[in-house]
Every structure is written in C-alpha cells, then in structure tokens.
Amino acid sequence: MFSDSPVIVWFRDDLRLADNPALHAAVAAGRPLICVFVFDEESEGIRPLGGAAKWWLHGSLAELDKALGVFGGGLVILRGRGDQVIETLATETKAAGVYWNRRYDEAGRAVDTRLKTALKARGMEAESFNGGLFHEPWTVKNKSGAPFRVFTAFWRAARGNGDPPLPIPAPVKVSFYAARPEMTVALDDLALEPGKPDWAGGLREAWHRGEVAGQRQLETFLEESLGGYTANRDRPDRPATSRLSPYLRFGNISPRQIWHAAMASGRSPDLDKFLAELGWREFSYHLLYHQPDLATHNFQPRFDAMPWIKDAAALRAWQRGQTGYPIVDAGMRELWTTGWMHNRVRMIAASFLAKHLLIDWREGEAWFWDTLVDADPANNPASWQWVAGSGADAAPYFRIFNPILQGEKFDPDGAYVRRWVPELAALPASAIHKPWTAKPAVKAYPVPIIDHDFARRRALDAFAQTRDRTTQN
C-alpha cells in the first residue's frame, strides 16, 4: 500500500460527525479520508425509501456535505449496489481500508458481509462499528440464551448491561483525499426531493434537517418538554414529545447523545419514561435482527389465518383522512402534510385500520413507510404489528381503541382536531369528536365510514375465527 493511500468512510444511516465511531476510527488512522454515501436501490432485498424519507435524506446529505466542507472536504455521492461500488472505489484509489457503522436489516447485513469479505481478500482493512444502538442485538438475551419477546424483560436486561458509552466528540481536524472519484454524482441527480408537483411544502415548514438541527431539537426538548413528559406525552394538542425520531432514523443524532444529554438533566420519573421510549426503539431493532421479515410476516404465525378484508375505498378514505372519525382523520392529515404524526394518534389510526376496517396491517405499514420522514425499518413494522396484535409483546387483539373516547381523552378541547380538520373548527368540544351529533350537521365532513360498535364486534369475531382455525390446525 502507498503511504498516502486513503481510507474510506461509508456513511449510511449515520449522517453526522459527532459520535460517529466509523469516522472517528478513520480519522485516527492518520490517512486522508474519502467520505462516501452510496444511494443503493439495486442490492437484493434493500427496501427503497419512501417519498418523505427521501426528502429527509436529501437535506441530511446536504448538511453533512456542508459540515465536511468546514474541514476543506466534502461528501462523495455515488449510486449503485453498495458492496460493488465501495469495492470499486477502494480498488481504484488503492485505499488502505474502509470503515462503516453497522446496520441490522438482513439485506443490509448481507451487503456488508460481502464487502468485508471482498476487501479483506484484497488485503484491505474492513472495520464496522456500533454507531446506532445502545447494545448490539445479539448481546441482550434471556436466561435461556434466546431473544426476548417481551419489552419489559428486554429493557430490564438491557439496562442491566449498564449505561451506553459516552458519545465521541466530532473530529477537530480532517484531511481529505484530493482526487474526486470519477463515479461521483451530484446530489440533485438522485432526485430525492419532489419536482412537479412539489408536495413537500408542509415538510419544509415543519422541519429543519441535519445534525445541527437535531442537536437543537434535543436541547429544546430537554429545556421545555422533558419536565411533565409522562403526563403530557399522550396529548397531541401539546408540544410535549421530543420529535427526535427522524433525526434518529437518519443518524443526524445518535441514541447515545440523547441518552447522556437527558441523563445530565437529572433523574426523574419523566426521564425514566423518556429513556424507556428509546428502549422501545432498541427493542424494535432487536426484533428486526432476529426476525428479518418483520415488515412482511406476522411475528405471531397464528395471525396468518386472520380474515383480512380487501377494501380499496376504505383504505383510501383512511389514507386521505376522510374516515368520519376526527382524531383518526386529524392524524392522517398531519402525516400527509408534515411527514410525521403524534405517537398516540399513530396508535389510534393504526388500530382503526387493522381492527375497525379489518385491513391488513401491512397496508398501513407500507403507507407509513412512504409518508413518514422517520420511516424506520425496525420501528415501523414492529409498531404496526404491536397495534395489530400480531407482534411481540403486542397489545391484545381484543383491545380495540374507541376513536371517539380516545379523542375525548387525549384531545379534550379539540385543539388538535381543529388544527388538522378545519371544517370542524367551529364545533364545541362536546361535539368535535362525534360531529354527526352536531345540530346543524356539518355537511363538509364525511359521516363515519363504519359504525364503531359494529366494527368492534366484527373484529372480535374475526379474531375468534383466527383462534379457532389455529386450534384446528
């Protein structure tokens, strides 16, 4: 190897400089860096990003390039099969090694394994690191050495492994490889942001993307909303949640950074509750690692017998926020406009699709995958399966949210509904979650597409059929 041969840092879901173990190791190698992102929609099994996630990715890549520019370099953007592109780049630049932070989906792991094997066969270093979780999924097991299926037991064991390591500071000096690879493409060439029609106006109003914005969001949450988090987190009418999920999804901020910043605020029940929410993210990746087909197959096989209903009209009404149930419709419209939905409302909307409408949870998971800026390969399917009743540690199927009561409990004054369903803005709080009772009737808003009591009985009957079929088999 040449003494001035570079090392490659392959960025993926870790689009930040601080607490980036792969970047830290590459800088410590004392060689010039090539910082690379590969847009890969070609590797077998890699799930293409949805539209909202692509929009977030564009902004994150632009911000990362700007941050690297402070050191006199930049981000090299390539496209194609990840392992082949990186191997070609390493060969052409005579790189001494390649560094990256691990991912945990099966297709991504397969790509990384092929690359590591190919690079080592060429005599190059190939090192991977934990840059996105508190603990590697294979390190948290029950007493029998098996993966956990219940969150509380998992989180207790994970906490027993101790606090996560302190985050690594961002580098203070970086040297870059001078030559620009011929394969480089412009960020705009990836067409990650919408053209015509430009549907991202609401996303731009709601979010600032990238590492700096993620740190600011964390600071704001800790200063303004962590106190009272336990009491307020289920209220969509209040700014009480962290809104850190898209920053975590794309690695603009790391869970270790969030953990230690939150711990520095002082122990409290609110802190413990917030940390447990980070634990749910950790649990979701634990599930994904051990059940790679989490987005396509029921975690509990008995749900394979569930008599789902194909109803394109009902699905479309749900997607558009036209179900006639205000709390559901408010959430779906918030999602379409901003690329995000309050977590309590996500549960209500998901329950409505899977239980009121008896539409396969995979339809909802796919819609969220396309419309959420925080669409996550572990959180999204794990959460959908949890609500549907088919997942690990799932809510019992017979627990069917009443969207009227949920709205009255968590949006008691109707402020959230009024914001996202403006045709109901003039209704009093007593009628806003059941507008069909208002006199005169609200003509601009649809009547419920299904009666709650009927839907509940039908869902329970469907589950009973599923249970009977499973018993017979």
Q: Quote the strand ranges of 21-65, DSSP E.
A: 33-39
Q: Region 326-347: what's the mean pLDDT?
A: 98
Give percent above pLDDT 90 in the chain.
Answer: 94
Contact 408, 423 (CB under 8 A): no
| 209: nearest Cα among 63, 2, 53, 369 | 63
**b/e 61-71 (16+ beta carbons within 10 angstroms → b):** bbbbbebbeeb
280-307 confidence digits (pLDDT tens): 999 999 999 999 999 999 999 999 999 9
| 341: nearest Cα among 206, 194, 198 | 206
| Helix residue ranges per DSSP H, 264-360 | 269-290, 312-320, 326-338, 343-351
pLDDT score for 1: 38
Contact 257, 17 (CB under 8 A): no
How deeply is 428 buried, as exposed, middle or buried, from its count of CB atoms within 10 A (0-12, 13-18, 19+)? exposed
Residue 79 clears pLDDT 50, i.e. is over it: yes
**What is the Cα–Cα distance from 143 to 419, expressed in whole angstroms?**
49
Provide CATH 3.40.50.620 ranges for the chain.
Answer: 7-131
Residue 3 clears pLDDT 70, i.e. is over it: no
| Secondary structure letter of residue 31 according to DSSP | S
108-162 confidence digits (pLDDT tens): 999 999 999 999 999 999 999 999 999 999 999 999 999 999 999 999 999 999 9
Residue 361, both tokens: 């949870």
166-218 confidence digits (pLDDT tens): 999 999 999 999 998 999 999 999 999 999 899 999 999 999 999 999 999 99
- Asked if the 132-166+211-290 domain carries CATH number 1.20.1050.10, the reply is no
Q: Which of 56, 336, 340, 384 is catalytic?
A: 384
3-state secondary structure 64-127: HHHHHHCCCCCEEEEECCHHHHHHHHHHHCCCCEEEEECCCCHHHHHHHHHHHHHHHHCCCEEE
Contact 111, 69 (CB under 8 A): no
Residue 279, both tokens: 């634990």
Q: Which of 155, 259, 361, 386 is catalytic?
A: 361
Chain centroid to CA 88: 31
Angle at 213 between CA 211 and CA 215, to 5 degrees: 70
Residue 55 clears pLDDT 50, i.e. is over it: yes
Residue 469 clears pLDDT 90, i.e. is over it: no
Q: How confident is the model at residue 328 (pLDDT cuts 50, 70, 90)?
A: very high
411-441 confidence digits (pLDDT tens): 999 999 999 999 999 999 999 999 999 999 8
Active site residue 211: no
Residue 327 clears pLDDT 90, i.e. is over it: yes
**What is the Cα–Cα distance from 355 to 400, expressed in whole angstroms?**
7
Phi, psi of 149 (to 5 degrees): -120, -5
pLDDT score for 398: 79
Residues contacting residue 172 through CB under 8 Å, at least 6 positions apart: none
pLDDT score for 362: 98
The owner of tokens 């397969």 is 110
- Neighbouring C-beta atoms of residue 299, cutoff 10 Å: 21
Q: Kind and range of the H or E element at 128?
A: strand 125-129
382-407 confidence digits (pLDDT tens): 999 999 999 998 777 778 999 999 99
Pairing outcome for strands 75-79 and 33-39: parallel
- Would you state the torsion angle of the CA atoms of residues 32, 119, 18, 65, taken in this order, to the nearest 10 degrees? 60
Active site residue 259: no
Which is more confident, 268 or 467? 268
Please list the residues that pair with 39 across neighbouring strands: 79
Q: Kind and range of the H or E element at 258?
A: helix 255-263
Average pLDDT, the chain: 96
Q: Which CATH number fits domain 7-131: 3.20.20.140, 3.40.50.620, 3.20.20.370, 3.40.640.10?
A: 3.40.50.620
Active site residue 361: yes
Q: How confident is the model at residue 331 (pLDDT cuts 50, 70, 90)?
A: very high
Residue 445 clears pLDDT 80, i.e. is over it: yes
Residue 88 clears pLDDT 80, i.e. is over it: yes
Q: How confident is the model at residue 473 (pLDDT cuts 50, 70, 90)?
A: low
Q: Which of 42, 106, 127, 277 is catalytic?
A: 277
Q: Which of 125, 199, 232, 308 is catalytic?
A: 308
254-272 confidence digits (pLDDT tens): 999 999 999 999 889 999 9
pTM above 0.95, yes or no: yes
Active site residue 308: yes
CATH node for 301-468: 1.10.579.10
Phi, psi of 98 (to 5 degrees): -130, 135
Residue 472 clears pLDDT 80, i.e. is over it: no
**What is the Cα–Cα distance from 356 to 373, expressed in whole angstroms?**
26
Q: Which of 199, 280, 402, 423 is catalytic?
A: 280
Contact 63, 209 (CB under 8 A): yes
60-74 confidence digits (pLDDT tens): 999 999 999 999 999
Residue 343 clears pLDDT 70, i.e. is over it: yes
Provide CATH 1.25.40.80 ranges for the chain.
Answer: 132-166+211-290
Q: Region 452-458: what's the mean pLDDT?
A: 97
